Amino acid sequence: MSQPQINVEQQAVKAAVSLLTQGTPDAWNRHYRSVHFQSLIQEKSRDALFLDFEYKDRKKLYQCVNDRFIRKAPIDYCEFGVAGGQSIKNWLELNPNPESRFYGFDSFEGLPEDWTKNAPKGAYTTKGNIPETDDPRASFIVGLFQDTVEEFSRNFTPENRLVLHMDADLYSSTLYCLMNFNSHIKPGTIILFDEFNARNYTDEYAALQDYCLTCYRDYTIIATRTDYVKLAIEITK
């Protein structure tokens, strides 16, 4: 006996029913975040510059953002997730403006919770070592974000265009920092993400989505790797 034909619509309904009846909350979350992203991506990246580069060449994205959108003007650069300091050092080189200020936040003890199979709790630890630099514009704020960022933000007065670099991978860390910087984030603020769509958009993208929903923010993607893993947005509202 031949199998009954199932059309695409029926398959989608079957997949949705199976997700609802057998799926875990994690699976629902992945599905919800991915569908949400797919529904927005065309509009959000309408004017984006698309770049092709490998992980080791991610400086290309920073260079593009600095050259095209910042044009070497002074910036207040805050990086959340510094580890060995590769990306903050890239930015120190790319933006030599003497008025720029660079702040790196990290516990330097690695991820505070399990992330992926290859990046469990403690991954990326530098065993407390802080990156070495003789650039006087750079300073490091050592500790768990949840112990340092709120106080820093309360005492911080921006002097230049704000550039935030979210490279902490985790939903919790990313959302915590965005929420605590909300009073400084303005239209024109640039925010870079290093793992935007990791784990089906349930980490950095989900944090941005929840931040925007909670604080009535909006954004446009200004430059992105073609797979949307690494990108830069500009806050528009």
Q: Is 103 in the site for ligand SAM (CB under 6 A)?
A: no
Beta bridge partners of 141: 105
In this complex, which beta carbon is closest to ligand SAM, that of residue 170 or of residue 235?
170
Asked if 164 contacts 136 with a C-beta cutoff of 8 angstroms, the reply is no
Whether 108 contacts 142, CB under 8 Å: yes
Please give the Cα distance from 39 to 34 (Å, whole number).
Answer: 9
Of 4-12, 61-69, 107-115, 228-236, the window that binds ligand SAM (rule: CB under 6 A) is 107-115
How near is the Cβ of 128 to ligand SAM at its closest, in Å? Answer: 10
Whichever of 45 and 175 has its CB closer to ligand SAM, that residue is 175
Q: Which two tokens stand for residue 207?
A: 């944090």
Q: Which of 74, 84, 131, 158 binds ligand SAM (CB under 6 A)?
A: 84
**Least CB distance to ligand SAM at residue 21 (A):** 35
Q: Applying CB under 6 A, what is the total number of residues that bind ligand SAM?
A: 21
Nearest CB to ligand SAM, comparing residues 168 and 208: 168
Q: Considering only residues 66, 87, 95, 180, which one is a binding residue for ligand SAM as defined by CB under 6 A?
A: 87
Q: Would you say 145 or 181 has its CB closer to ligand SAM? A: 145
Which pair of structure tokens corresponds to residue 145? 């974000």
HEC string of the chain equals: CCCCCCCHHHHHHHHHHHHHHHCCHHHHHHHHHHHHHHHHHHHHCCCCEEECCCHHHCHHHHHHHHHHHHCCCCEEEEEECCCCCHHHHHHHHHCCCCCCEEEEEECCCCCCCCCECCECCCCCCCCCCCCCCCCCCEEEEECCHHHHHHHHHHHCCCCCEEEEEECCCCHHHHHHHHHHCCCCCCCCCEEEECCCCHHHHCCHHHHHHHHHHHHCCCEEEEEEECCCCCEEEEECC
Return the residues of window 156-185 that contact ligand SAM according to CB under 6 A: 167-170, 173
**113 to 152: interface string for ligand SAM, x by CB under 6 A:** -----------x-------------------xxx------
Closest distance between ligand SAM and the C-beta of residue 138, in Å?
A: 13
The nearer residue to ligand SAM, 31 or 164, going by C-beta atoms, is 164
Closest approach of ligand SAM to the CB of residue 165, in Å: 7
- Identify the residue among 61, 70, 78, 82 touching ligand SAM (CB under 6 A): 82
Binding site for ligand SAM (CB under 6 A): 81-84, 86-87, 106-107, 109-112, 124, 144-146, 167-170, 173
